[in-house]
């Protein structure tokens, strides 16, 4: 195949049409019509000597897969912010650049986090179910009451791009914002939010708590941390399911310690613990925080921008 028509990029996950069109035009990319698995990615790269790969969760590359990649591969691009589906350190050791798309998801994820806050506080799941069942009964002044959002204290764990964007939205709803992170943000970035150096010290002050940190091996929220929240608090998670001990969360929701929860992520996706579906005080969504046309296009375009930079000999825009 002539060099100017050579496939320079494998897109191993299904992407929006606009992203696929650009990839085909700019890189003569092979674009899959269904998410490939890790071994299929390795075999394709061996057969076609492509210098760039765009992967997703199903096509995640661990050490054994990266070790099997041909020397032609220069960059593994991710169209998401998280890279927990691959071994970044091993890729770096092989001289392969790994990139992500940290800015693309910020605004939509922050919007969605506020949706979860509002829906959990105002019992949206229950109200919507009542309407779909035909309503048919007026509610009195003391029935089906939610929790007012305005004036409440929102605790944010992780004050990065998304955490700060959530803070701005919460302040627009008249919420007081407190946060914890590895270090305090600059005053102009804090924008009136109050810093707690200790996660445990912050928890008793959180009438609503939302997580915005990367996932890890050990849960951040266990029975101890849920117990430190004030009675009647609301818990929100649009970050990673692995941050939460789901047995502890279920206990906190069923014991009445938590008023409710808004969840977009779970420990065993997509096979969610069925106990949560049976709870009226939980608003559940299927990992959709970034699911808008604009954001998914931007995620793909960011990955392609990184590929273009590396293949042109320039520094990656979003190197992990």
Q: pLDDT by residue (tens digit) across 124-173?
A: 999 999 999 999 999 999 999 999 999 999 999 999 999 999 999 999 99
Give the number of other CB atoms < 10 A from CB of residue 96: 20
What count of Cα atoms within 13 Å lies in the side-chain half-sphere of residue 17? 0
**Does one domain contain both 260 and 135?**
yes
Question: Is residue 24 assigned to a domain?
Answer: yes
Domain range for 91: 3-104+293-311
**Does one domain contain both 132 and 98?**
no
Q: Where are the alpha helices (DSSP H) in 28-178?
A: 38-48, 63-68, 88-93, 106-121, 124-132, 161-172
Question: Is residue 316 assigned to a domain?
Answer: no
> What pLDDT score does 2 carry?
38
Distance between CA atoms of 84 and 207, rounded to whole angstroms? 30
Instruction: Name which of 80, 12, 4 is nearest 40 in CA terms.
Output: 12
For the cut 50, the answer to whether the pLDDT of residue 106 exceeds it is: yes
For the cut 80, the answer to whether the pLDDT of residue 225 exceeds it is: yes
Known catalytic residues are 240, 269, 287
Among 3-17, 119-133, 254-268, 301-315, where is mean pLDDT lowest? 3-17
**Does one domain contain both 83 and 34?**
yes
Question: Is residue 100 assigned to a domain?
Answer: yes
> What pLDDT score does 5 carry?
72
Q: pLDDT by residue (tens digit) across 49-91?
A: 999 999 998 999 999 999 999 999 999 999 998 888 899 999 9
Instruction: Name which of 102, 110, 162 is nearest 298 in CA terms.
Output: 102
**Does one domain contain both 90 and 129?**
no
What CATH number does residue 131 fall under? 3.40.50.720
Q: Peptide bond before 79: cis, by omega within 30 degrees of 0?
A: no
- Round the average pLDDT of the chain to a whole number and report it: 96
Question: Is residue 317 assigned to a domain?
Answer: no
**Count of domains forming the chain:** 2
């Amino acid at each position: 195949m002539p060099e100017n028509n050579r496939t320079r990029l494998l897109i191993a996950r299904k992407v929006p049409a606009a992203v696929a069109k650009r990839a085909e035009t700019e890189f003569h990319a092979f674009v899959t019509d269904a998410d490939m698995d890790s071994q299929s990615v390795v075999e394709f790269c061996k057969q076609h000597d492509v210098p760039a790969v765009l992967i997703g969760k199903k096509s995640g590359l661990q050490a054994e897969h990266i070790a099997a990649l041909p020397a032609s591969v220069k960059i593994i691009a991710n169209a998401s912010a998280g890279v927990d589906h691959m071994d970044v350190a091993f890729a770096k050791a092989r001289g392969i650049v790994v990139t992500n798309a940290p800015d693309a998801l910020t605004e939509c994820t922050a919007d969605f986090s506020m949706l979860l806050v509002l829906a959990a506080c105002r019992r949206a799941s229950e109200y919507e179910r009542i309407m779909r069942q035909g309503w048919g009964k007026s509610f009195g002044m003391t029935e089906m009451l939610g929790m007012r959002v305005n004036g409440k204290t929102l605790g944010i764990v992780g004050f990065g791009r998304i955490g700060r964007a959530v803070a701005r939205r919460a302040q627009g709803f008249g919420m007081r914002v407190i946060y914890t992170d590895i270090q305090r943000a600059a005053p102009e970035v804090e924008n009136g939010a109050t810093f707690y150096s200790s996660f445990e010290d912050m928890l008793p002050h959180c009438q609503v708590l939302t997580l915005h940190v990367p996932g890890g091996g050990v849960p951040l929220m266990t029975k101890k941390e849920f117990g430190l929240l004030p009675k009647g608090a609301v818990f929100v998670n649009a970050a990673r399911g692995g941050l939460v001990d789901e047995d502890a969360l279920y206990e906190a929701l069923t014991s009445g310690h938590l008023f409710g929860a808004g969840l977009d992520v779970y420990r065993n996706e997509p096979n969610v613990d069925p106990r949560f579906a049976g709870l009226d005080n939980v608003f559940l969504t299927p990992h959709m925080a970034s699911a808008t046309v604009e954001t998914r296009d931007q995620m793909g375009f960011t990955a392609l921008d990184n590929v273009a930079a590396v293949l042109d000999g320039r520094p990656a825009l979003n190197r992990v």
